Amino acid sequence: LALPTLARPMPPLPATYRSTPRTLLRFAIVMLALGLLSGVAFQESSKKLDYAEIAAGARLEAVLSLALVHGHMLVTGVLMPIALAAALDLARRSGGSELSARTLRWLTWGYVPFTAVTLALMLYKGYHTLLSVRFGARDFDAIDAAYFGGLVPLRHAVYGLTHVGMAVSLGVVGVALWRSLKPAAR
């Protein structure tokens, strides 16, 4: 004797709705591994900065950028993609209209690569600062000025492009998700 179900059957998923969450989840899995490795790398790399050579405040400044990589990888590289994949499914299951393939590409060709580049930039900055201090530099203004080979316009362009790209990608998908949840007709 089968019990009646109240749930209506869901129409089959379009190809984009199968591939986008898979891409997001694969990215999250890779970022989980890299995030965990970045935590280990930070611990091992920061141990090599001798406490006797540098004062506590300067030491903190030397390791802070690298210390932040681990958490950012886990939040923007793991939790956000999982939340975005879940939001796509939840919006659809709650009666929202499906997002277009073009909108979903903002996640796979926007958010994912811009996030990966942003995290790589954080790792580069962290090691640039830490290694500069380890090799004797103590002027943090000079260390910062030497970042990107001293090419400040290039630095600003790369940071601006990646952060704006990541934000616009999320904004496009957020607005599309919001619009897909229009109230059902009575």
Task: Provide the pLDDT confidence category of residue 4 given band limits of 50, 70 and 90.
Answer: low
Percent of the chain with pLDDT over 70: 92
Q: Is the pLDDT of residue 154 over 90?
A: yes
The residue to which tokens 């499906």 are assigned: 98
Q: Is the pLDDT of residue 16 over 70?
A: yes
Per-residue tokens: 5: 């179900």
Work out the angle between the directed axes of helices 80-93 and 152-180 (0-180°, nearest 10). Answer: 20
Give the separation between CA 172 and CA 176, rounded to whole angstroms. Answer: 6
Q: Which one has a higher pLDDT value, 100 or 1?
A: 100
Q: Which one has a higher pLDDT value, 9 or 76?
A: 76
Percent of the chain with pLDDT over 90: 73
- pLDDT, residue 55, reads 84
Q: pLDDT tens-digit profile of 40-58?
A: 999 999 888 877 888 888 8
> Contact, 163 vs 118, CB < 8 A?
yes
- Per 3-state DSSP, what percentage of the chain is helix, strand, and coil (rounded to 5)? 80, 0, 20
- pLDDT, residue 18, reads 86
pTM, two decimals, is: 0.86
